[in-house]
């Protein structure tokens, strides 16, 4: 679970550490419960729990009462079962082959079917198998999901197979992060209309739906990002939403250079000092997950201060402008994101979202877990 070039060697400190605060994860789950007290929670732990490390995250969520977990593919589900996680696990993209369907049956995984070809696959070879199914409806995102008018036929086809069980109906929101968009309520209205008179539980809301669209909470909510403590809603910070960042990406200063006015820093010499200053070199680069496209001037935490980056991010390092009067020393801690420097803010600087930063951690970053005991 550590996965770094120092993995298994406790005699060396990691260059770059993703400090994962499991107490913050529990706090954020409590925020989900507070927002959606009548809904059950299907926590999105796909993509290695958004880069946070799937097994410790899943174990913490399950111990805190999460009713189900959601993953993108069978490998992710098998890793959880292999680690002894026993709660229901939903395959959000369903199964891609008969072999996967067989594994899903053996491991009691719930399959979200989204396309006619998947129903045909299951009907052809698994008609008598104890399948646990969700049906994903396309209410306007046009990514995955059945055409709305097919819902009654799907319900009938599943009811026809005594061994099959229909848990319920899913749809996914395209614009829930934009609180001024009418699309969310249109999607919800299409979902409700398509399911009129049909039985089965319903699930619509991702994190942004949970926080910004109360009417979408339904029987099951499917939080991802908010569990990891980043804001899912445009224009509102995690702090304002009382979400606590779970991941802090940490490194250290490994050199401090005094440079004169006009001196340049880094590849391409794109940054130059307006006045004499001290440049701190941080042992973290794009191979660790700090985007190369990060512009100069992006705030990062050094000790108790926040200072701007200077010049291009390289593979293993980046530079910060500490200022002429800097007191920092080699070895001082650096926070690329975490306390005081939200991942959302760095993501916005490079035109992306916190999700992509979390998922983009390099393989040599060591994950360290804190706050494990409830
Ligand atoms: C990833 C995912 C979620 C969680 O989304 P967040 O925006 O991270 O809360 C919910 N539902 C589906 C279908 C997903 O793929």
46 is catalytic: yes
For residues 323 and 305, the answer to whether their CB atoms sit within 8 Å is no
Q: What are phi and psi of 272, to 5 degrees?
A: -130, 150
What is the DSSP code (8-state) at residue 213? -
* Residues ≥6 apart with Cβ < 8 Å to 303: 328, 332, 333
Output the CA torsion sign for 55, 57, 61, 64: positive
Ligand 1 geometric centre to CA of 204 (Å) = 10
Q: What is the pLDDT of residue 123?
A: 97
Q: Which of 35, 47, 222, 223 has most ligand 1 atoms within 8 Å of CB, for mutation?
A: 222
* Residues ≥6 apart with Cβ < 8 Å to 64: 26, 29, 374
How far CA 48 is from CA of 1, 2, 70, 75, 358, in Å, comes to 10, 12, 11, 11, 10
- Ligand 1 atom with minimal separation from the 232 CA: 7
Residue nearest atom 4 of ligand 1, based on CA coordinates: 224
Tally of CB atoms within 10 A around 312:
21
Q: Which residue has the tokens 């420097």?
A: 341
In the chain, DSSP assigns E strands to: 17-21, 40-44, 68-71, 89-91, 110-113, 132-136, 165-170, 201-203, 220-221, 247-259, 264-265, 271-272, 277-282, 299-302, 305-308, 318-321, 333-337, 366-370
Helices (H) and strands (E) in the chain, counts: 11, 18
Q: What is the pLDDT of residue 8?
A: 53
267 is catalytic: yes
Residue nearest atom 15 of ligand 1, based on CA coordinates: 92
Q: What span, in angstroms and rounded, lies between the C-alpha atoms of 139 and 190? A: 6
- Ligand 1 atom with minimal separation from the 206 CA: 9
Tally of CB atoms within 10 A around 261:
10
How far CA 263 is from CA of 28, 88, 277, 278, 319, in Å, comes to 45, 58, 9, 11, 13
Ligand 1 geometric centre to CA of 67 (Å) = 16
* Of 143, 140, 105, 141, the residue nearest 121 (C-alpha): 105
Tell me the pLDDT of the chain (374 aa) as tens digits.
Answer: 444 444 557 788 889 999 999 999 999 999 999 999 999 999 999 999 999 999 999 999 999 999 999 999 999 999 999 999 999 999 999 999 999 999 999 999 999 999 999 999 999 999 999 999 999 999 999 999 999 999 999 999 999 999 999 999 999 999 999 999 999 999 999 999 999 999 999 999 999 999 999 999 999 999 999 999 999 999 999 999 999 999 999 999 999 999 999 999 999 999 999 999 999 999 999 999 999 999 999 999 999 999 999 999 999 999 999 999 999 999 999 999 999 999 999 999 999 999 999 999 999 999 999 998 65
268-281: string of b/e by CB count within 10 Å (b at 16+)? eeebebeeebbbbb
- Ligand 1 atom with minimal separation from the 177 CA: 7
- Ligand 1 atom with minimal separation from the 136 CA: 13
Catalytic residue, candidates 108, 267, 286, 355: 267
Catalytic residue, candidates 46, 50, 228, 286: 46
Q: What are phi and psi of 282, to 5 degrees?
A: -100, 135
Q: Which of 25, 29, 32, 44 has most ligand 1 atoms within 8 Å of CB, for mutation?
A: 44
Q: What span, in angstroms and rounded, lies between the C-alpha atoms of 337 and 21? A: 13
DSSP codes joined into one string, 73-128: SHHHHHHHHHTT--S-EEETT--SSHHHHHHHHHTT-EEEE-SHHHHHHHHHH-TT
Which residues approach ligand 1 with their CB closer than 6 A? 44, 46, 92, 172, 206-208, 222-225, 232
Ligand 1 geometric centre to CA of 223 (Å) = 6
Q: Which of 42, 61, 92 has most ligand 1 atoms within 8 Å of CB, for mutation?
A: 92
Give the CA-trace dihedral at 143, 144, 146, 148, to 10 degrees: -40
Write the burial class of residue 145 (CB in 10 Å: 0-12 exposed, 13-18 middle, 19+ buried). buried
């Amino acid at each position: 679970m550590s996965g770094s070039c120092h993995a298994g060697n406790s005699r060396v400190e990691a260059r770059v550490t993703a400090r994962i605060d499991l107490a913050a994860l529990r706090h954020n789950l409590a925020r989900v419960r507070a927002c959606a007290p009548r809904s059950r929670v299907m926590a999105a732990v796909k993509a290695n729990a958004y880069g946070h490390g799937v097994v410790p995250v899943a174990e913490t969520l399950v111990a805190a009462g999460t009713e189900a977990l959601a993953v993108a593919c069978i490998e992710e589900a098998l890793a959880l079962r292999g680690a002894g996680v026993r709660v229901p696990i939903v395959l959000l993209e369903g199964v891609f082959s008969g072999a996967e369907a067989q594994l899903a049956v053996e491991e009691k995984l719930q399959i979200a079917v989204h396309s006619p070809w998947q129903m045909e696959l299951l009907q052809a070879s698994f008609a008598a198998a104890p399948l646990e199914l969700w049906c994903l409806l396309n209410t306007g995102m046009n990514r995955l999901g059945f055409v709305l008018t097919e819902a009654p036929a799907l319900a009938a086809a599943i009811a026809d197979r005594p061994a099959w069980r229909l848990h319920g109906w899913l749809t996914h929101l395209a614009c829930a992060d934009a609180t001024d968009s009418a699309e969310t309520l249109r999607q919800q209205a299409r979902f409700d209309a398509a399911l009129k008179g049909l039985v089965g539980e319903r699930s619509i809301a991702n994190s942004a739906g949970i926080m910004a669209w109360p009417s979408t909470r339904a029987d099951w909510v499917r939080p991802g990002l908010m569990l990891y403590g980043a804001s899912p809603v445009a224009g509102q910070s995690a702090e304002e939403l009382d979400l606590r960042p779970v991941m802090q990406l940490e490194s250290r200063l490994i050199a401090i250079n005094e440079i004169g006015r006009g001196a340049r820093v880094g590849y391409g010499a794109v940054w130059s000092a307006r006045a004499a200053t001290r440049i701190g070199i941080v042992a973290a680069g794009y191979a660790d997950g700090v985007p190369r496209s990060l512009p100069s001037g992006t705030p990062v935490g050094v000790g108790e201060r926040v200072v701007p980056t200077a010049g291009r991010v390289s593979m293993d390092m980046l530079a910060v402008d500490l200022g002429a009067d800097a007191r920092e020393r080699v070895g001082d801690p650096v926070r690329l994101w975490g306390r005081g420097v939200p991942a959302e803010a760095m993501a916005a600087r490079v035109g992306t979202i916190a999700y992509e930063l979390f998922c983009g951690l390099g393989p040599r970053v060591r994950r360290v877990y804190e706050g494990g005991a409830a």
